[in-house]
A and B are shown apart, each in its own frame.
Chain A
C-alpha cells in the first residue's frame, strides 16, 4: 500500500450534528416495452429531479430496461397483505381521480403495475383495484395517485445504455472465463464445473 493510503485520518471532537433523512422514493423498472413495471428498489433523495437521476444511475443501469417509474413513498397506500391470494370484490365505479394499481403476486415477491382505475379515495381505489385485478393471483394491492407517478423512458434526458456494458454483467465474462478455464481443464470437465457452479452455488 502506498504511504498516502496508509495515512490515518485523525478526527477531533464530537461527531458533527446529524441530519434528518431525505425523502423516500420507490422505483420500478420496465424491462421491455410491453412488460409490466416491477419493483426495483427504493432510494433517498431530496426531490423528484434527483430521485430520477439516482434511479437512472442505480436501477436503470443494473439491468437492461426501457423505462423507470418513480413515486414518492408517502403517496403509496397499501391494502392488507393476505396470506392467500385475494379474490375479486364487488366494488365498482368510474368516479374520482385516476390511481395506478400495483399488485404483489406473492409474499416476498415484487410489486407490479397492473393498470389504472378511477376512485374518489385510496380506500375505494384499493377496493376497486381488487375487483379489477385480484382474480386469485394477488396477495396485496398498492394504489398511488397517477398524478404523483413519474415515468421516464429515456427521452427526457436520462442516460441509457448506449454502448457496450458487458463488463457489468456476469454473462460478459462467460466467454473469457470459459476459454481460460479450458486452457487449464478440458472442455468436458469445464462444462461439469460450470453447471455445478450455477446450479449448486449460484
Chain B
C-alpha cells in the first residue's frame, strides 16, 4: 500500500569511499544502469536504500492494521473476501521488502524490533483512525492510488532488487485501488446517509493523502544523493500535483466536496469548508489546491498522532505473542506463551 519514505538526507557520498569506484558507480547510475545487490556501492547508498526499503516494509505491515480491523465488519461476503485478500497482500509486500532490506545488511528480527520500539518509522498516514467502512474505501481509493503513483516512480529507480519488488507489488496495488474505487462509487450511488458517511471519510483522508508524498523537497534535490543516485526519481511536490490532478476532478464528479478541514487530536474533523483554492488552470492542466497542515504532519511523524500509540502497541503485542512460536521453530525451545 505504502510508498517509501524519502531516503535519509545527510549522506556524504565522497567521504571515505574510493573516488574511482564512486565515479564509476555514479556514471553507471547516470547511464541508466541498474545496481544489483552484488555490485560495489557506496556505504551511504546502501544505508539509504536500506532505510527506504525498511521504512516501506514497516509501512506495509502497519498499514494492514487499520484495514484488518474491518475484516469482521465488512458489509458483504465479497467485500470481506476482497479486504482479507488485500490485507494478506500488504503483509506479503512487507515480507518481500524486508527481504530486500535483509540483503542490504540488517536482520529481519532487528527490523521488527526497531519498529516496535520506535527506532524506525512507518508511513504517517497509518496513524489516523478508520472509524467507518467509508474510511476503508478512502484508504483503498486515495492512499492506494497515491501509493501506486509513488511506487510507479520508484520502479524507475536504480536499485535492481527494489525495482523488481516494486514491479511485483504494483501489480497487486492495481487490485487494491480498483476495489477502493468500486467501493467509493457504490457508496456515492447509495443513500443520503451513505453519501454523508463517504464525504466525512473523504474529509478525513484528503489532507492525509496530500501529505502522503511528504513535504516539499529542497530546491537542489536533483543534485543531492537520493535523486542523483536515482533512489527516488520525482519530487514530492510533482507527485502531489499529479495526485490532485487525478483525484480532485474525480471526487467532484462523484459529488464529493474537497474541503479544507481542521481536526481534533483524535483525528476527527471539527470544521470543513470548501477549498476555495481548488481550480483548474487551463493553461497548465494543473489544479491549484490548499496545502495540508504541515505542522500536523511533523507532529504525527514525531509520534503524537491520533493512533501512533495504538498501532505500535498492537504491533508489539503481535511480536511478543508470536515470540514463543519463533523460538520453537528456530531453536526448538518451547515455553509457555505470554498471557494475552
Enumerate chain A interface residues (CB-CB to B < 8 A): 1, 5, 8-11, 15-22, 24, 39-44, 46, 57-58, 61-63, 78, 80-81, 83, 106-110, 140, 165, 167-170, 172-174, 176-177, 180-181, 183-185, 193, 197, 200-202
Contacts and interface: CB of A to CB of B under 8 A. Distances in A.
Nearest to B189: A180
B154 to A, nearest CB: 12
A173 B179 CA distance: 6
A108 to B, nearest CB: 4
B148 A184 contact: no
Contact of B165 (A5, A41, A168, A202): A41
Contacts of B178: 170, 172-174, 177
A22 B329 CA distance: 8
Nearest to B183: A173
Contacts of B109: 18-21
Given A42-B99, A168-B82, 17 more contacts: A1-B129, A9-B316, A15-B117, A18-B110, A19-B109, A19-B323, A19-B331, A21-B108, A24-B102, A39-B164, A43-B95, A44-B99, A46-B330, A83-B28, A108-B36, A176-B182, A183-B189
B163 interface: yes
Contact of A62 (B89, B313, B317): B89
Contact of A41 (B96, B160, B182, B253): B96
19 contacts: A9-B316, A11-B313, A15-B117, A18-B109, A19-B330, A20-B107, A24-B102, A39-B164, A41-B96, A43-B95, A46-B330, A58-B88, A62-B92, A107-B160, A109-B160, A167-B179, A176-B185, A177-B178, A180-B182
Interface string B86-111: 10110010011001001000011110
Contacts of B85: 61, 165, 167-168
Interface string B217-261: 000000000000000000000000010001000100110000000
A200 B149 CA distance: 9
Contacts of B116: 15
A167 B81 contact: yes
Nearest to B326: A19
B310 interface: yes
Contacts of A15: 113, 116-117, 316, 319-320
| Interface class of chain B by DSSP | helix
Nearest to A46: B329
A61 B89 CA distance: 10
A62 B171 CA distance: 9
A107 B33 contact: yes
A202 B174 contact: yes
A177 B186 CA distance: 9
Contacts of A22: 326, 329-330
Contacts of B182: 173, 176-177, 180
B255 to A, nearest CB: 8
Interface in B25-75: 28, 33-36, 38-39, 69
Contacts of A184: 185, 189, 253-254
Nearest to B316: A11
A63 B171 contact: yes
A5 B175 CA distance: 27
A172 B69 CA distance: 24
Contacts of A172: 175, 178
B177 interface: yes
B246 A201 contact: yes
A62 B172 contact: yes
Contact of B33 (A39, A83, A109, A168): A83
B93 to A, nearest CB: 10
Contacts of B310: 8
A170 B186 contact: no
B338 interface: yes
A58 B95 contact: yes
A180 B36 contact: no
